[in-house]
Amino acid sequence: MKRIGLLSPESERKRHHARKPLEVVSDDQLNRAITGLASPPVTPEKGNGVHVSQSELGKAKRRLDFTIAEGTVERNTTGSVYSLGKSLFLRGSECDKMDDQKTLVSRQQECDHLQSFIETNLAKNNSASIYISGPPGTGKTAQTMSLLDWYTDNAKSQRGSIYDVQIAGRISRVSVVKVNCMAVARPEDVYRIIHREISQSSKRQKLDSETLSKVLADKSICDMNIVVLDELDNLVNKNQQVLFELFTWASNHQQGGPNLLLIGIANALDLTDRFLPRLKNNQINPEVLAFMPYTAEQTKEVIMNKLRILQKMTGGDLDAIPLIQPVAITLCSKKVASNTGDIRKALDIIHRSLDVIEETTRSKVTQSEFDSLTLESAPKVNIGLVAKVCNSIFGVNVGSTKLSGYNLQHKLVLCALANYESHLLESKGKITTVTGSGGSPRRKRLSSTVNGLYEFYTKHVNTDKLMGTLKRGEFIEILNSLESSGSVTIGSGTQTLDYGQSPVSCSISRKELLEAVSDNALLQKVITKD
């Protein structure tokens, strides 16, 4: 079959991979363009973690306490009311718990399920496992840690990672070990980490599974070992033997076997399909707890709860909603829920919105007026501002703002595409004759394709003298990066899997593009039909 694609077969095969890393407009640039933020909140990089043993940490937990439980709330209340608000919505700030100190806002069901798993099995001295799955930002880690912290914080006594916890009217000696599998270089290291925590040994010795299983079975150390394997996905992609072994121990109810409550947390969506069936095929049946994406209502409740905390911190009216208009909160919640339901996005949107309103307000009033603003008097984030910030975060309908972060070649390709689409629109209804399979002539309606666009670009966009003409490979790279940042949509190819025949369309309206290039004669020429 003759290929009419623009790329070599090898390049086309790699195309999918090539698309993702090509970010033309960095988040950072975009944030600054929209909000003037110099350093927007960032997700901590996974994989760079350092495992700090809990025994080293002991009870010296340094946590920001943003709860609204009984008692006085000691906080640093210096800075503007906006800074105070922003501190609550900063990524990485302690997530808020309900009055019971263990349940996250909007995660009651999940907390109850996990608590019942732990307590039922502890009461019976049963080994068991639970597999917690769900997309990113649904509170899997935060809820699990919150519940375990609640047990350990209320323990009668503690020795390293071993706690005397009171459950169902009796005291159990329990070890609690939390392992972030992202920080584990080789699966076998998990044995050593667990052993080190339980035995309080600082020796970096090699350890086989048999030694660990004996330690886990040793009732003189503790009655039950609760082991959390967070970011389990990281181990599933490597040697799965270690995981199978741990899940096998946790499903073994024989006397004298390891005493293990295993909590595996995974965020890859397809892990449930890949890993769980393999466990079940091996007669290992962990309980399954799915954390669903936050709904709009739940997201709203998380935001509202943080604002109530703010009122509590400053002694304000708990019924009033400070700093953000209710409709703006609703819009943010709906946008996040309709996207991925990742609560981190909601925190980011509110944080950025507060940043913008803070700067705007500061520029309008004197310093002393600014300093004397209260939660009641401070201008509030409105729906328009949240809409703008949502657009910057989700990368849609940002027209000129998005364009301002592109270089000239990218803008040129976008303008060429807009012009090409206009040409095609004009010739809508026109029929062209193409050669069909088997060599017979076939009549086909004109449509925008990657091949067609490149041909249009080379014929109609005459910028050779000024900045040269892009070679096909370069052109495709730029097109792919425009797609990655949401300005262009490239459909999947035809049955021939020919990338050149993939339909291509501009995701920014022609009107927005025209506005965005109004100060550039060259681009105006490229976008204007001749």
Ligand X SMILES: Nc1ncnc2c1ncn2[C@@H]1O[C@H](COP(=O)(O)OP(=O)(O)OP(=O)(O)O)[C@@H](O)[C@H]1O
Interaction site with Mg ion (CB under 5 A): 141
Nearest CB to ligand X, comparing residues 190 and 398: 190
Measured distance CA(478)–CA(454) in Å, rounded: 12
Nearest CB to ligand X, comparing residues 301 and 483: 301
Nearest CB to ligand X, comparing residues 54 and 267: 267
Q: Which of 238, 241, 250, 237 is nearest to 284 (CA)?
A: 250
Measured distance CA(42)–CA(65) in Å, rounded: 21
Interface segment toward ligand X; rule CB under 6 A; list 3-11, 139-147, 323-331, 379-387: 139-147
Residue 34 found at the interface with ligand X (CB under 6 A): no
Measured distance CA(137)–CA(182) in Å, rounded: 16
* Residue 54 near residue 177, CB atoms below 8 Å: yes
Residues 141-200 that bind ligand X (CB under 6 A): 141-142
Provide the mask over 254-273, with x wherever binding to ligand X is found by CB under 6 A and - wherever it is not: -------------x------
Provide the mask over 298-337, with x wherever binding to ligand X is found by CB under 6 A and - wherever it is not: ----x-----------------------------------
Nearest CB to ligand X, comparing residues 94 and 369: 94
Nearest CB to ligand X, comparing residues 91 and 380: 91
Q: How far is the CB of 144 from Mg ion (least distance, A)?
A: 8
Q: How far is the CB of 63 from Mg ion (least distance, A)?
A: 17
Q: Which of 306, 311, 370 is nearest to 332 (CA)?
A: 306
Tell me how far the alpha carbon of residue 374 is from its chain's centroid.
33
Q: How far is the CB of 230 from ligand X (least distance, A)?
A: 7
Cα angle 176, 180, 183 (rounded to 5 degrees) comes to 135
Amino acid at 175: S
Q: How far is the CB of 83 from ligand X (least distance, A)?
A: 19
Q: Which does 216 bind (CB under 5 to 8 A by kind): ligand X, Mg ion, none?
A: none
Q: Which does 302 bind (CB under 5 to 8 A by kind): ligand X, Mg ion, none?
A: ligand X
Q: Which distant-in-sequence residues (6+ apart) come within 8 Å of 216 by Cβ?
A: 194, 198, 225, 249, 258, 259, 260
Nearest CB to ligand X, comparing residues 30 and 346: 346
For the record, the structure tokens of 278 come out as: 């393999």
Q: How far is the CB of 496 from ligand X (least distance, A)?
A: 38
SS3 state of residue 285 = coil
CA dist 116 to 122, 152, 496, Å? 10, 16, 54
**Size of interface with ligand X, in residues (CB under 6 A):** 21
For the record, the structure tokens of 128 come out as: 């068991």
Q: How far is the CB of 260 from ligand X (least distance, A)?
A: 22
Residue 133 found at the interface with ligand X (CB under 6 A): no
Measured distance CA(353)–CA(349) in Å, rounded: 6
Nearest CB to Mg ion, comparing residues 127 and 141: 141
Q: Which of 360, 293, 379 is nearest to 333 (CA)?
A: 293
Question: 């960095």: which residue's tokens?
Answer: 26
Residue of the chain from 31, 35, 67, 106 that contacts ligand X (CB under 6 A): 106
For the record, the structure tokens of 266 come out as: 């995974």
Q: Which does 315 bind (CB under 5 to 8 A by kind): Mg ion, ligand X, none?
A: none
Measured distance CA(463)–CA(455) in Å, rounded: 14
Interface segment toward ligand X; rule CB under 6 A; list 105-113, 270-278, 280-288, 404-412: 105-113
Binding positions for ligand X, rule: CB under 6 A: 91-92, 95-96, 104-107, 134, 136-142, 267, 291, 302, 343-344
